[in-house]
Amino acid sequence: MHPTHIPIRVATGAYILNSGLSKLGADKETAEGLHGMASGAYPFLKNVKPKDFTELLAYGEIALGTTLLAPMVPSAVAGTALAGFGAGLVGMYLKTPWMTGDDGIRPSQQGVPFAKDVWLVGAGVTLATQSALGAAKSAAKSAKGSVQDLASDIGSTTKDALPFG
C-alpha cells in the first residue's frame, strides 16, 4: 500500500466499519426504513425481508470497512470495492425523488446526508486508479530495464563476434 493511500483507507474504512457494526443490532423499525429506501431504488430487493437485508448490509459494510483497513489488501482491490459500494449508494440517492431537487441531481434538504456518498466513489476510484497506474509505471520501468539489458547483451555479443571488433 502506498503511504498516500493510508488517510483515505483509514477514514473511509473506519466510517464504513462503524456503520456496519451499528446495523447489526438494528431494531425492526430501522430495518424496515433501510429496506424501504433501498428497495424503492432497487426493486429486486423488495423480495428480501427487511431484517435479512439489514443484516446483509451490515456484514457487507463490515467486510468493506475491514478490507479498507487491512494493509495487506491491495489498494486496487479495496478501491474498486469502495467505488462499487459508493456507486450503489449514489444510485439510491439519484433514484429517490425526495432526495434530489427539481433537476434530479442537486440534493434537496433531506438528500444532503445522502449526496455525500459521491465522495466514496471518488475515493474508491482514486485508490484503484493510483494503484493501477503505479503498477503500470513499475512494469514499464522493469520492461525498460529488461530491454536495455537485452540490447546491451546483444551489442556485446555482436561486438565479440565481429572479426575486426
Dihedral of the alpha carbons of 118, 84, 34, 66, in degrees to the nearest 10: -100
- Look up residue 97 and give its DSSP letter: G
Residue with cell 529488461: 146
Q: Do 61 and 19 form a contact (C-beta atoms < 8 A)?
A: yes
Task: Give pLDDT tens digits for 61-99.
Answer: 999 999 999 999 999 999 999 999 999 999 999 998 888
Q: How many other CB atoms are found less than 10 A from the CB of residue 35?
A: 20
Whole-model pTM above 0.85?
Answer: no
Tell whether the model's pLDDT for residue 148 goes beyond 70.
Answer: no
Separation in Å, CA 97 to CA 17, 93, 101:
28, 8, 8
**20-24, 41-45, 58-62, 154-158, range with the lowest pLDDT:** 154-158
